[in-house]
Amino acid sequence: MAGVYVHIPFCASRCSYCDFYSTLQLGRLGRSYVEAVIAEAGLRRAELRGEPVRTVYLGGGTPSQLPVPLLERLTDGLKETLELGGVEEFTVEANPDDVSLGWCQAVAAMGVNRVSMGVQTFEDHILRLVGRRHTAQQAVEAVANLRSGGINNISIDLIYGLPGQSPASWTDSVKRAVALAPQHISAYGLTYEEGTRLWQQRERGEVTEVPEEECLEMYRILVDRLQAAGYEHYEISNFALSGYHSRHNSSYWNDTPYLGLGAAAHSYDGSVRSYNPSDLREYIGRITAGKKACEVEMLSRRERYDERVMLGLRTARGVDAEGVRAEFGDAAWRHLERAAQRHIEAGNLRMTDDGRYVLTREGIMLSDSVMRDLMWDED
- Chain contacts with ligand SF4 (rule: CB under 6 A): 11, 14-15, 18, 20, 22, 60-62, 95, 118
Which of these, 13, 20, 361, lies nearest to 191 by C-alpha position? 20
Tell the smallest beta-carbon distance from residue 320 to ligand SF4 (Å).
34
Q: In whole angstroms, how close is the CB of 163 to ligand SF4 at the nearest point?
A: 15
* Residue nearest to ligand SF4 as judged by C-beta position: 18
**Whose Cβ is closer to ligand SF4: residue 60's or residue 257's?**
60
CB of 105 to ligand SF4, least distance (A): 23
Smallest distance, Å, CB 15 to ligand SF4?
A: 3
Minimum CB separation of residue 165 from ligand SF4 in Å reads: 17
Q: Which residues contact 69 (CB under 8 A, 6 or more apart)?
A: none
Q: What are phi and psi of 350, to 5 degrees?
A: -135, 160
What angle do the packed helices 321-328 and 330-345 form, to 10 degrees? Answer: 150
Smallest gap from residue 14 Cβ to ligand SF4 (A): 5
Contacts of 78 (CB under 8 A, 6+ apart): 4, 6, 37, 38, 41, 56, 84
Cβ closest to ligand SF4, residue 47 vs residue 93: 93
Would you mind telling me the total number of residues written for the chain in this entry? 379
Residue with Cβ nearer ligand SF4 (62 or 249): 62
* Nearer to ligand SF4 (CB atom), residue 13 or residue 152: 13
Q: Which is nearer to ligand SF4, 159 or 370 (CB)?
A: 159
CB 267 within 8 A of CB 275: yes
- Roughly what angle, to the nearest 10 degrees, separates helices 101-109 and 68-81? 10
Measuring CA to CA, how many Å separate 120 from each of 173, 181, 225? 9, 16, 17
Q: Judged by CB, which is closer to ligand SF4: 95, or 348?
A: 95
Give the separation between CA 307 and CA 310, rounded to whole angstroms: 5
